[in-house]
Structure 1
Amino acid sequence: MPLDHISILVPISKLEDMITFLTTSLGHLGFKELMRPIPTVVGFGEQQPYFWISTFEPKPGTEEVAADLLKKNHFAFTAQTIEEVRQFHVAALNAGATCNGEPGPRDHYHSGYYGAFVHDPVLGANFEVVCHTHKGD
């Protein structure tokens, strides 16, 4: 059974920065903001929203704990080609992300796995774009 949608939490003060990072680094895959049913909830996807951002306001004194928890998140998006994986990596780094794994094959996951990883500049979460049909450079 495929996943229908997912929602991540972002501090309200970082909402616009996260939107900019996502659309800048994943836009070449057709990923875009599709709706804001209310000002603090945003849906992204290609045709229909499947990746949602909801905001929260950390309680005073909990900001550091919240930031640490958000850094532990991992999100992976599928690319059709290894070129799209490479484009993601460049676009994400240009948008302020830090490299967490250069584009390349990762046969220890499975044969044909080609991915790239970054930590986003807003939350520090791990974002990946992967092509599952890599047959060599």
Structure 2
Amino acid sequence: MPLDHFNIAVPQGKLEDIITFLTTSFEPLGLKEIARPVPTVVGFGEKTPYFWLNVADLKEVDSKSHEAVLKSQHIAFTAATTEEVRQVHAAALKAGATCNGPPGIRAYYHPGYYAAFVVNPVLGINFEVICHDDASR
């Protein structure tokens, strides 16, 4: 069954920074802010929101534990072409991300698996952009 949407909880002081990183880095894929139903909840997508951020209440969870959970996350976005993978990787690095794997084939997953990985400078999340098969290659 396909995934409809998902959510990440972020600290209040980091919300605008992660919004800026996402809209800057993933613009080549068409990702943009779609909805902000309340000031502490933001939905992203191309046409409808499927990736949500909400402000975490760190009174219930200490900030070190929350930070460890965020850094253990891996989120992958699909690209239509290998060029889009390269564009997102370059945009993310320009936005302050750290390279966690340059654009290239990852044949150990499958022969057409072309991906790049970056660690977000705001929350430490490992983001991947992947093209499973680019017929233009």
- TM-score bracket, normalised by the shorter chain, equals over 0.9
AA aligned opposite 1:125:
I
Tell me the distance in 2 between the aligned counterparts of 1:9 and 1:56.
5
Q: Which residue of structure 2 lines up, in the alignment, with residue 124 of structure 1?
A: 124
* Cα distance between partner residues in 1 of 2:39 and 2:32: 16
Partners of 2:125 and 2:47 in 1: CA distance? 25
> Match for residue 110 of structure 1?
110
Q: Distance in 2 between matches of 1:89 and 1:47?
A: 22
Residue in structure 1 matched with residue 62 of structure 2 by the alignment: 62
Q: Distance in 2 between matches of 1:67 and 1:61?
A: 10
Equivalent position of 2:94 in the other structure: 94
- Given that 1:78 and 1:130 are in contact with CA atoms closer than 8 Å, whether structure 2 keeps it comes out as yes
AA aligned opposite 1:23: T
Regions of 4+ moved over 3 Å: 134-137
SS of equivalent to 1:124:
coil
Work out the CA distance in 1 between the residues paired with 2:51 and 2:82: 22
Residues 122, 135 of structure 1: alpha-carbon distance in 2 compared, 3 angstrom cutoff: same
Q: Is the 8 A contact 2:80 2:134 kept in 1?
A: no
Superposed displacement of residue 135, structure 1? 6.4
**Structure 2: stretches of 5+ with no match in the other structure:** none
Q: CA-to-partner distance for each residue in 1:7-28, whole Å, 9 max, x for gaps?
A: 0111111000000000000011
Give the number of aligned pairs: 137
**How far 1:60 moved relative to its partner?**
8.7
RMSD: 1.6
Percent of pairs with identical residues: 61
Give, in whole Å, the separation in 1 of the partners of 2:136 and 2:120. Answer: 28
CA gap of 1:5–1:61, structure 2 versus 1, over 3 A, is: closer
What runs of 5+ residues in structure 1 fail to find an aligned partner?
none
